[in-house]
Structure 1
């Protein structure tokens, strides 16, 4: 639905960053998960754009955005985009990696953020400890290092059903879309490419600084680690709460979009 031809471009200090900008009203920014792009939000963009201005970037190194040639922080990229678009303060909605970008941004650039929604994420300090995730991370690293694209894709796509289901338990179109986006992003990189991302650290201790409403949304089938981290985030900020969408894994916005959209719109309407 949202083709690359509709994307706009923001000239950052290190290459052009792509983003979708549609609808009108108070700005809501949709930040995608790792290895995919703004299209992970295809079921959210029209629902939100009926009421809000929706900005959906391709994070640096993903989709149609430039790779990094120098050290960078996700939060600074997003802050630059919001200033360029005249879109602050905005509500930041982040999925997985995008949720980390959202919490990083409210900590580093609080004047640009009106509220935060994380999904399948907490802060950049969070690390999975369960054996299932550890195994996926190890296999992903092995496959990427060896240039084994199919091996990497198998590990990447196994996150969608989660530890309690198989690929046959979810809509095959979700896996097709994730695969297509991931292949597009992977094609931009080489196995020996240097990771130039500079993480924001010490975020757990800084959560009480977050002075805007925070909502954490998680699939009911996410590992216990993720639920505990989301509850920790919601409980550490002055105005935080959490919601669980039953019967979904790491991508509740794709598995049960109507429920996810209603949770999101209810939160936005109450701001």
Structure 2
């Protein structure tokens, strides 16, 4: 089972973190949501206190097993970045487990990047990984996280340090000397978006890259959901504008939907 925290009681909420981070990404929301809900926040495989992968795997299978083992179904699942893509995978691969879906900073796994500036940044980030240049890799990761071209001086130092600590933990504990075992992608998720049958909320930071914003919006549009735009925030609006994101989540959880 994935390492996880489990707090509060009531209707279940599952919070999935972004790549190279861990469950602490959701720290601003966990206590607030746990007042009225059972909140479970795992570390995905290869992150935090969960094991480092040694054989091919799919994040969606790990998360589905956790939901079943903890008897959370049907659960509201919310994800940021990688976590958003895993959340979409879960809603498509195991729709019986998901009651509502919240995505931020990403959408369907396998969705294509189009923005030239973002593509260039991703190419340089990948090269830094191949070069085993940790300092350059981390700097580009943080630039992607807080908005391409945005000066770090414009970011709350405490938030920047929080993300850097999580990234350092991932690099220290889960990146082997050899080639890492990467997750197996779920097939054709983007084409399967119209099969989504759950209420969807997309939360997008307006300083995030155009592609990340588009991907989240596409999930909401496919399911007839809605989008909350967060000014002054990049890829992690729940950290940079926690009161807005927490309020949007609480409002979404209070809504009644047919069949919910």
Classify 1:141/1:191 alpha carbon distance in 2 versus 1 (closer, same or farther; 3 Å).
Answer: farther
Classify 1:146/1:224 alpha carbon distance in 2 versus 1 (closer, same or farther; 3 Å).
Answer: closer
Counterpart selection for 1:177 from 162, 166, 169 = 162
Counterpart selection for 2:48 from 63, 79, 102 = 63
- With the length of structure 1 as denominator, give the TM-score of the two structures: 0.90
- Are the aligned partners of 2:73 and 2:98 in contact in 1 as well (CA < 8 Å)? yes
* Paired residue total: 255
Where 2:203 maps in the other structure, the secondary structure is strand
Q: Find the counterpart in structure 1 of residue 188 from structure 2.
A: 202
For residues 75-111 of structure 1, give each alpha carbon's deviation from its aligned partner in whole angstroms, at most 9, with x where no partner exists: 1100000111111110000000000000000111111
Q: Does 1:192 align with 2:178?
A: yes
Give the Å deviation of 1:123: 0.5
CA separation in 1, counterparts of 2:21 and 2:215?
Answer: 23
Counterpart selection for 1:215 from 195, 201, 204 = 201
For residues 60-79 of structure 1, give each alpha carbon's deviation from its aligned partner in whole angstroms, at most 9, with x where no partner exists: 00011001122111111000
- Are the aligned partners of 1:145 and 1:191 in contact in 2 as well (CA < 8 Å)? no
Q: Find the counterpart in structure 1 of residue 81 from structure 2.
A: 96
Q: Find the counterpart in structure 1 of residue 13 from structure 2.
A: 28
CA separation in 1, counterparts of 2:210 and 2:183?
Answer: 28
Q: Does 1:268 align with 2:253?
A: yes
Q: Find the counterpart in structure 2 of residue 54 from structure 1.
A: 39
Question: Which has the higher mean CA deviation after the structures are superposed, 103-112 or 121-130?
Answer: 121-130
CA separation in 1, counterparts of 2:166 and 2:213?
Answer: 26
Structure 1: gaps of 5 or more residues: 1-9, 11-16
CA separation in 1, counterparts of 2:213 and 2:145?
Answer: 16
CA separation in 2, counterparts of 1:184 and 1:108?
Answer: 30
- With the length of structure 2 as denominator, give the TM-score of the two structures: 0.94
Give the Å deviation of 1:193: 2.2
Q: Find the counterpart in structure 1 of residue 98 from structure 2.
A: 113
Give the Å deviation of 1:127: 2.5
Q: Does 1:130 align with 2:115?
A: yes
CA separation in 1, counterparts of 2:215 and 2:60?
Answer: 20
Q: Does 1:254 align with 2:234?
A: no
Structure 1: which 4+ aligned runs deviate by more than 3 Å? none
Q: Cα RMSD between the aligned structures? A: 1.3
- Are the aligned partners of 1:147 and 1:191 in contact in 2 as well (CA < 8 Å)? no
Question: Which has the higher mean CA deviation after the structures are superposed, 91-100 or 244-253?
Answer: 244-253
CA separation in 2, counterparts of 1:200 and 1:55?
Answer: 23
Give the Å deviation of 1:142: 1.8
- Are the aligned partners of 2:105 and 2:215 in contact in 1 as well (CA < 8 Å)? no
Q: Find the counterpart in structure 2 of residue 226 from structure 1.
A: 212
CA separation in 2, counterparts of 1:158 and 1:72?
Answer: 29
Counterpart selection for 1:143 from 107, 124, 128 = 128
